[in-house]
Structure 1
Amino acid sequence: MAKRIASAVVVLIAGLIVFIATRPDSFHISRSRPIQAPPEVVHALINNFSKWPQWSPYEKVDPNLQRTYDGPAEGVGAGYAWKGNKNIGAGRMTIVASNPGERVTIRLEFIEPFAAVNQAEFILAPGTTTTHVTWSMSGPNTFLGKAMMGFGLMESFVGKQLEQGLTDLDTAAREEALKATQSAQAETPHLSPAP
């Protein structure tokens, strides 16, 4: 009886390994939503890493997160490194492409708790009153990534983070758009009616 159970466990494990190994060698996860602000306002919040604490879900994982910035303040070459607790780990982001009001592409390097190099991309499509934003993450799949993907865990976990980030980006962009409107109104000279 014990031999049959052991044989069944071996077959089950072998089948699981084969199933995981046949998963795709790369992954792509994306989420989209309309943002209630003009493309230039949304782009400015993504294109400058010092503005990410206003909306990025990853910034809230560790209240003691250590951040360092290098390169230009925004756009291509801007860099951001982080080091935090076991839930956020350590890594680095670098903007590799930026088209105002249209797109930001980021090289995303994870150092801890595991090493990986992925790509994050934001695509902005202006509408009449909103900006439709798609945030995606893609890269090569490790064995662990294939296992998570095979059971839908990666799509669910990363997808929820992207959704939360887009929701918070919408809130931050609305606030920035309102400030810009109020500032423009304050600078507009008010003409007194003619006598």
Structure 2
Amino acid sequence: MTRVLELLVSLLIVTVLVVVVGVLLPSHGHVERSVEVSSPVRQIFDSVNTLRRFPEWSPERRLDPQLHMEFSGTRIGKGAKVDWSGNESVGKGSLEIVNSDEDSQVKMDVTNDFAGTNKTYTITLKPAENAKTTRIHWAYDVDYGWDLKARYAGLYIHGKPDATLQTALANMSAMLASFPNVDYKDQDIQVTEVTGVPLLVLSTKAPRTLDEVEEATSQAVARIEAVMAKAGLKQAGPVRTITTNWGDDNYVYDVAIPVDASRFTLEGATYEITAPVVSEVVEELADNETAPVLKLGDHDEDGNLVIEDGVHARISYTGQALMTEYTGSPAALPLLRLQEKAYAETHGYLYSEMNGGRFWDEVSATSEEGGNTYKVYLPVEP
């Protein structure tokens, strides 16, 4: 009986000690890590102010490459949310942006299997004095309250929670390094809906000088206008320049003119301009080195209707696109394209520079002084 009492007293003492120590442990946990990057501040802010880039920087995806994610709420800023579910190492969780201060800070509510409640990420951006680099501070905060088990778990905040921050920062740094390193904060880039129109198109190229590009464009426009006259078509919009490849020495591109009808008659037959559709027959022709010369009414390897003199026809891209306007020299157009590409990357928009996904620009206005106003488009997917 005495030994039983001694055991009970010992257990009581241990329990009291556990409770006393637990009460004395912190009721709040905080851990913070940082990394320095050379990306523009606006790029960094936009990348964390949308959760569409979560698949790239997510620490959870490292533990489960098949992580299932669902986005909801707004696309950017307060209300943007992602829910995930994965294997046993990841479990279920979510992130939701609850506050953001442009180019300065983004705060997210965190739901996961870590101990505690009121879990948050606070990402703070601090540009260096030389303005060439920015330090990203990533903090994790959690409340344990009077949950003594959670308070003891807080002793290991420098375990998995700390590792999670470090992985997120490393992934974020690598992701930012893959973006075009251009600052677009002073360029108004918008998401717009564009509707496809019938185009007559001619592929061309020129050395990368303004004069030679202008000359090649003028020649291409003249050839397209000659075909338009034969087909009884009229111009129905500004000339478009569709970029294929901005190379080191040469600029490869298409010149396109919108026309007023999708149906025309030429050489006694009527033809319909449609959106490009690459059929199996067209794909076989593209892969066949001895493919026959295409003639009027055929379709090329991109699904465009062949007319004559190198001029093809198609319905242009329909869907979402990034658009920005610029007034000045066309020498700035390559930079604008890079800015739109960087904007698409940081905001999580998918794009492809193949066929219908290629950049195009057009002159929207010409001033009396001779300067042009350009609109530059990049097709994107939501």
TM-score class, shorter: 0.7 to 0.9
**Alignment root-mean-square deviation, CA:** 3.1
Q: CA deviation at 1:147?
A: 0.5
Contact 2:127 2:135 in 1 (8 A): yes
Change (3 A) 1:177 1:20: farther
Does 2:175 match 1:172? Answer: yes
Partner of 1:143: 148
Q: CA deviation at 1:12?
A: 3.2
Change (3 A) 1:126 1:15: same
Change (3 A) 1:81 1:36: same
Change (3 A) 1:125 1:180: closer
Q: 2:92 aligns with which of 90, 93, 97?
A: 90
Contact 2:114 2:161 in 1 (8 A): no
Change (3 A) 1:188 1:124: closer
Contact 1:109 1:118 in 2 (8 A): yes
- Secondary structure class of the residue paired with 1:73: coil
Listed one character per residue, the Cα deviations across residues 119-153 of structure 1 (whole Å, up to 9, x for unaligned) are: 2110001122211111111121143321022xx31
Partner of 2:334: 187
- Secondary structure class of the residue paired with 1:144: helix
Q: CA deviation at 1:15?
A: 1.4
Equivalenced residue count is 185
Contact 1:38 1:126 in 2 (8 A): no
Q: CA deviation at 1:31?
A: 1.2
Partner of 2:59: 57
- Secondary structure class of the residue paired with 2:74: coil
Partner of 2:127: 126
Partner of 2:105: 103
- Secondary structure class of the residue paired with 1:176: coil
Distance in 2 (alpha carbons) for counterparts of 1:27 and 1:113: 11
Q: Which has the higher contact order (CA 8 A, sep 6+)?
A: 1
Change (3 A) 1:81 1:123: same
TM-score of the two chains, using structure 1 as the length reference: 0.79
What is the identity, as a one-letter code, of the residue corresponding to 2:143?
P
Change (3 A) 1:188 1:39: closer
Unaligned residue ranges in structure 2 (runs of 5+) = 185-245, 247-330, 337-382
What is the identity, as a one-letter code, of the residue corresponding to 2:138?
W
- Secondary structure class of the residue paired with 2:151: helix
Listed one character per residue, the Cα deviations across residues 69-107 of structure 1 (whole Å, up to 9, x for unaligned) are: 112211111111112222222222211111222111112
Distance in 2 (alpha carbons) for counterparts of 1:179 and 1:133: 18
Distance in 2 (alpha carbons) for counterparts of 1:174 and 1:146: 38
Distance in 2 (alpha carbons) for counterparts of 1:180 and 1:148: 43
- Secondary structure class of the residue paired with 2:157: helix
Contact 1:109 1:115 in 2 (8 A): no
Contact 1:89 1:113 in 2 (8 A): no
Contact 2:123 2:139 in 1 (8 A): yes
Contact 1:35 1:169 in 2 (8 A): no
Contact 1:57 1:164 in 2 (8 A): yes
Choose 113-122 or 124-133, whichever is displaced more.
113-122
Q: CA deviation at 1:117?
A: 3.4
Q: Identical aligned pairs, as a percentage?
A: 19
- Secondary structure class of the residue paired with 1:87: coil
Contact 1:49 1:80 in 2 (8 A): yes
Change (3 A) 1:53 1:185: farther
What is the identity, as a one-letter code, of the residue corresponding to 1:119?
T
Larger radius of gyration: 2
Listed one character per residue, the Cα deviations across residues 17-36 of structure 1 (whole Å, up to 9, x for unaligned) are: 32123212222221122123
Change (3 A) 1:54 1:185: farther
Partner of 1:117: 118
Contact 2:78 2:98 in 1 (8 A): yes
What is the identity, as a one-letter code, of the residue corresponding to 1:59?
R
What is the identity, as a one-letter code, of the residue corresponding to 1:123?
T
Q: 1:29 aligns with which of 23, 28, 31?
A: 31
Q: Which has the higher helix share?
A: 1
- 4+ residue stretches of structure 1 with deviation over 6 A? 183-186
Change (3 A) 1:179 1:65: farther
- Secondary structure class of the residue paired with 1:107: strand
- Secondary structure class of the residue paired with 1:122: strand
